[in-house]
Structure 1
Amino acid sequence: MKVARFYAPGDVRIEDAPEPSPAADELKIKVHNTSTCGTDVKIYRFGHPNIVPPRVIGHEIAGEVVEVGANVTGWQPGDRVQVIAAIPCGRCDECKRGWMTICPNQLSMGYNFEGGFAEYMVVPENVLRVDGLNRIPDGVSYAEASVAEPLACVLNGQELASVHEGDTVVVVGAGPIGCLHVRLARARGAAAVYLVELNRARLDMAAALVGPDAAICGAETDAVDEVKKLTDGRGVDVVITAAASGKAQEEALQMVARRGRLSFFGGLPKDNPTITLDSNVVHYREVTILGANGSSPAHNKRALELIASGAVPVDDLITHRMPLTEVLAAIDTVAKGEAIKVTIEP
């Protein structure tokens, strides 16, 4: 079978490999879709401390069960499944409290285990133990199911920020995550959703798909001023920074209304992780600042339900479909911002 294997920064190879066999507590799937994201770009460029090469990468995975280990129950060949990416241990204090997104023992598909840029892969016992293998609902394609993982992360972020009916929301960043945030905020009843992006071409592409109430190009206008104008000077209830930008986080505080919530959804580069915020604005305006880190198995299940119900459509966000042999081209397309979502179909 073909796989895409990471060896070192800048060195991902398409190779032939033997098909894996599941152990007694594992099962094997035929991969139908593994979608790409900005994390794959970072892995390709810089590697990751949790990846010991060589490693098959890819973590937004959907496929079909083809073989079940002797000790595994509840699954059979032909089942259509989606695999979680972030794997909590299920045993630590955080997991026992229901905080699986911040499990200190978290492992990941495509990092600690062989990932989805392959024709076949094994779903490890770690995933099955935390109920991290999900049935794909009828009517949801494998490609759509592969987008459930990023949508699950978006769902976690909006639950933490308590996005609810009547809110005004700003999403900063018009990539796939930003597009999902716009659609989910609408599904949760937001009264208005504004999309902010520096890159005009990327903004136009995203806005044409998800239709924000206003599309603001930060390279052409002062985004803070535009948000203030749109809200008669009040600011918005929620700002979600779906971009790895310290400046975006600093400006977000200037957009948020009194008692507003500020979600730092996108992490910052590890060599430049600090920002400057006016603490008095947080203090006197009673602003809440929240982090958001990944998703839990339960978030993945709810994301599939949102896709199946039509509450959050994702099929049209998949702008490119490529074979496994073109993984490097897919990563390059994501890096250049020329796509919303790129999916690999082995």
Structure 2
Amino acid sequence: MRAIVIEQYGVLPTVQEVAAPEPQAGGVVLKVEATGLCRSDWHGWQGHDSDIVLPHVPGHELAGTIAAVGAGVTGWQVGDRVTTPFICACGTCEQCREGNHQVCPNQLQPGFNYWGSFAEYVALPYAEVNLIRLPESLDFDTAAGLGCRFATSFRAIRQVGKVRAGENVVIFGCGGVGLSAVMIAAALDARVIAVDTNPEALKLARTYGAAHTVQASTYGAADTGHASTYGAADAGQASPDVVREILDLTGGGAQVTMDALGSNELVQQALRSLRPRGRHLQVGLLPSGVQLDVSRLIGQELEWLGSHGMPAHAYPEMLDLVASGNLNPADLITNRITLEQAPAALAALTTATPAGVTVIHP
């Protein structure tokens, strides 16, 4: 099969012919119909994930058709249209028995623990626990984006943060995760404020339901060591004080903030933007050495809520909202590329995060 292969960290990967995976007992092999390009793939390419062993094939947001079924798998057959969370849970441990598949200690993640979906075929373990049947009305491009960014945002906003109608919700970082969160929070009738350095991302945030956008001048981009500076957005210039603007827009602070990027600076801004007893959602992976104002957490009775993915059994509520038209994740897709174009798109994440979601067609 054709696949994107990383042979050295930080060195542009290439399209190569490699052996296709075989189905393992309890697992399946999918023909990849669509796979998303995510910043987590960039981190893996840079060598930030200790689970990766070179040579390696990245990719963890995917949808496709079952091409082969392993021994012991029931309820699934060749040709079924499916997607999966990026966390493939074992289904038998204590956390899985309690329904917390997203924190399974035995989890396997395609594109990290083993070769992923930037390829024509990908293997998936623990099929009966992790496969999600796609309705015929849901196309593969849209379904691919559900497994990581959209599902992660849905669980964070809806199930962990428990966002309610009328609440002020501030989303820091408007990449794929952030824009998904904007759309989901707006669908819950929250008053959403989107913060980013990229004016194009802020325009999309308005389209997806943000009531206000705040142009940040710079902030560190999730472990990259780079900062971004952009031109004018809504107000004609970047906000000199993001926190002050948010406090003014919310009348004293938001009920909920979310760091959708993973940045020390964003975390500090998010906590300072909360009103007393507010809730902070941490979804972006943070660099080491982040220091929190714990005194503020205690004195203001703030809640720090980590959220990591979403288990397969929690998908029905989200899929129902998509089917009803209340959520439109297809609108987040702004770019479709081929496997040959994927290495350059991966490398472009070094300097900036493009607005919207990029989908790869292997």
1:151 aligns to what SS in structure 2? Answer: helix
> Contact (CA 8 Å) 1:209, 1:317: kept in 2 or not?
no
Question: d(CA) in 2 for partners of 1:68 and 1:102?
Answer: 26
1:10 aligns to what SS in structure 2? Answer: coil
1:87 aligns to what SS in structure 2? Answer: coil
Question: d(CA) in 2 for partners of 1:34 and 1:261?
Answer: 32
Which residue of structure 1 lines up, in the alignment, with residue 137 of structure 2?
A: 139
Q: 1:332 to 1:202 in 2, by over 3 A?
A: farther
Which residue of structure 1 lines up, in the alignment, with residue 55 of structure 2?
A: 54
Q: 1:217 to 1:282 in 2, by over 3 A?
A: same
Question: d(CA) in 1 for partners of 2:175 and 2:136?
Answer: 28
CA deviation after TM superposition for structure 1 residue 28, in Å: 2.3
Question: d(CA) in 2 for partners of 1:155 and 1:47?
Answer: 26
Question: d(CA) in 2 for partners of 1:304 and 1:333?
Answer: 31
Taking the TM superposition and a 5 Å limit, the aligned residue runs for 1:64-103 are 64-103=65-104
Percent identity, aligned pairs only, is: 32
2:7 aligns to what SS in structure 1? Answer: strand
Corresponding residue to 2:336 among 306, 314, 321: 321
CA deviation after TM superposition for structure 1 residue 295, in Å: 2.3
Structure 1 runs of 4+ aligned residues shifted over 4 Å read none
Which residue of structure 1 lines up, in the alignment, with residue 193 of structure 2?
A: 194
| Deviations, residues 186-209 of structure 1 (Å, cap 9, x unaligned) | 22231x1000112334333x3353
Amino acid of the residue matched to residue 186 of structure 2?
R
Q: 1:30 to 1:41 in 2, by over 3 A?
A: same
Corresponding residue to 1:292 among 295, 302, 307: 307
Question: d(CA) in 2 for partners of 1:319 and 1:183?
Answer: 15
Q: 1:296 to 1:25 in 2, by over 3 A?
A: closer
| Deviations, residues 191-242 of structure 1 (Å, cap 9, x unaligned) | x1000112334333x335324100101212111111111122x211101111
CA deviation after TM superposition for structure 1 residue 284, in Å: 3.6
Q: 1:13 to 1:47 in 2, by over 3 A?
A: farther
Which residue of structure 2 lines up, in the alignment, with residue 168 of structure 1?
A: 168
| Deviations, residues 49-92 of structure 1 (Å, cap 9, x unaligned) | 11112222100010012233353221222211102211223333
> Contact (CA 8 Å) 1:86, 1:108: kept in 2 or not?
yes
Question: d(CA) in 2 for partners of 1:278 and 1:343?
Answer: 39
Q: 1:305 to 1:57 in 2, by over 3 A?
A: farther
Q: May I ask how many residue pairs the two structures share in their alignment?
A: 337
| Deviations, residues 248-287 of structure 1 (Å, cap 9, x unaligned) | 11121221112211112212113x3x223151x3334322
> Contact (CA 8 Å) 2:174, 2:355: kept in 1 or not?
no
Which residue of structure 1 lines up, in the alignment, with residue 361 of structure 2?
A: 345
Taking the TM superposition and a 5 Å limit, the aligned residue runs for 1:4-23 are 4-11=4-11, 12-23=13-24
1:18 aligns to what SS in structure 2? Answer: coil
Q: 1:225 to 1:73 in 2, by over 3 A?
A: same
2:281 aligns to what SS in structure 1? Answer: strand
* Structure 1 length-normalised TM: 0.90
List alignment gaps of at least 5 residues for structure 1.
none
> Contact (CA 8 Å) 2:89, 2:130: kept in 1 or not?
no
Question: d(CA) in 2 for partners of 1:64 and 1:154?
Answer: 25
CA deviation after TM superposition for structure 1 residue 163, in Å: 0.9
CA deviation after TM superposition for structure 1 residue 33, in Å: 0.2
Which structure carries more strand by proportion?
1
Which residue of structure 2 lines up, in the alignment, with residue 180 of structure 1?
A: 180
CA deviation after TM superposition for structure 1 residue 47, in Å: 4.7
1:107 aligns to what SS in structure 2? Answer: coil
List alignment gaps of at least 5 residues for structure 2.
218-237
